[in-house]
Chain A
């Protein structure tokens, strides 16, 4: 078993034009900074990105939007990004907005080997247009399909050489779900340790879901809304 790669460039080298990729993170919290930078450098185009948010103008997925690398975004919330809004209104970028719980659960379903889920979120709204519905115990639910993503790129706090991952605080968010959901999962971690050093009781993502892992560097961890108590 050799899942360890040297760096982000190696980890993402086979991500091809037109690929569908999941990117972990909530806002800028827990995003795979190193892999995003490598994708920007590589210039991969026509990507479909599944990610809760689309970064900000000059950080996160916003960097890929600036280079016009994204064909379609599948997200739940895309505020705080002027370039995104411009590309959306001009028709350069295709956007599918879906409820946040639906987004998370469609990632999870892929990792659980379940083709679809039923959720009440979006019933009676434009999200339900054209979708199959079913009534359980008098309440209407929408049928939503598991995602089918070529790659998942996630960020964890600690990982080991077997690909086991532990996330920190709210930087967990979508990362473990996307780690489960990708056909090929790439994990970047702040600290990579030899197998055996992490407590098996504490693992969030078992290594079976992770195909490539590397220790990232120079994490900026930009804060969107710094709020403090004086």
Chain B
């Protein structure tokens, strides 16, 4: 079973040289710590920055320089600032190669729900609806089951939808899944996790073909 950092590390293997990438809040943010050697990616922060650098040292903290999670950050050589309309313009126009975001639920047809729990939590969608509606490739990083032990990989989302048929891949603590017309296709198992456990914890349609390799981290 993977911890949060290992989920991020596995997703980082999907990065390709030259990619422009938007990382959501939570586990997706950790992906930046595992960018493979020899690969250069540019991180887009939707509040108006291309080329997001690491957190600053204490003496370099700048309140005018934050990421979309409102954390203090730095720029890198080659960074650029822009306004919020231009930021979503480049997202809408398909210039961002990969978006990684968290989710409360994903359906086996690629529907995603991650912005609202009616009657309990209403924080808003932020940029998630814009990102999922336009990004070329969307990977979801999330826990396989919720706190009550119920599967978050479903036949149909029960929570309010963020986008329809948009998720391409899901990485959880149990494995890696492609979203296909036949449902979630199991590609890799996390170390020490059996196919049986994955089947038991996946409510949506699951495709298991042949021997499923254990993930190499």
Q: Which residues of A pack against B, CB within 8 Å?
A: 26-30, 52, 75-79, 85, 88, 95, 97-105, 107-108, 119-127, 157, 168-177, 204, 221-230
Contact = CB atoms under 8 A, between A and B. Distances in A.
Contacts of A225: 66, 69-72
A21 B160 CA distance: 29
A77 B65 contact: no
A177 B85 contact: yes
Contacts of A124: 161, 163-164
- Top 5 nearest A-B pairs (CB, nearest first) are A101-B88, A101-B130, A79-B123, A221-B63, A104-B84
B91 interface: yes
A190 B55 CA distance: 25
Contacts of B164: 123-125
Contact of A77 (B62, B73, B126): B126
B92 interface: yes
18 contacts: A28-B63, A98-B125, A99-B128, A100-B84, A100-B127, A101-B46, A101-B87, A104-B85, A105-B85, A119-B130, A123-B163, A126-B161, A127-B129, A170-B81, A177-B84, A177-B85, A223-B72, A225-B71
Interface string B186-210: 0000000000000000000000000
A121 B133 contact: yes
A168 B64 contact: yes
Interface string B95-134: 0000000000000000000000000001111111110011
Contacts of B66: 26-27, 29, 170, 223-225
Interface residues of B, number: 50
Contacts of B82: 172
Contacts of A88: 122
Given A170-B81, A173-B47, A101 B64 contact: no
B160 A177 contact: no
A140 to B, nearest CB: 9
Given A78-B124, A127-B129, A170-B45, A228 B63 contact: no
A227 B122 contact: no
Contacts of B133: 119-123
Contacts of A121: 88, 92, 129-130, 133-134
A98 B89 CA distance: 16
B162 interface: yes
Contacts of B92: 101, 119-121
Nearest to A81: B123
A92 to B, nearest CB: 14
Given A78-B122, A120-B92, A170 B127 contact: no
Nearest to A73: B124
Interface string B23-59: 0000000000000000000000111110000111110
Contacts of A28: 63, 70
Contacts of A157: 64
Interface string B160-177: 111110000000000000
A93 to B, nearest CB: 11
Contacts of A126: 160-161
Interface string B129-168: 1100110000000000000000000000000111110000
Given A26-B70, A121-B133, A227-B71, 16 more contacts: A29-B47, A78-B122, A85-B122, A97-B122, A101-B129, A102-B129, A104-B83, A104-B87, A169-B65, A170-B66, A172-B48, A221-B64, A223-B63, A225-B69, A226-B61, A228-B72
B56 to A, nearest CB: 6
Contacts of A169: 49, 62, 64-65, 75, 81
B55 A29 contact: no
B201 to A, nearest CB: 27
B161 A26 contact: no
A27 B70 contact: yes
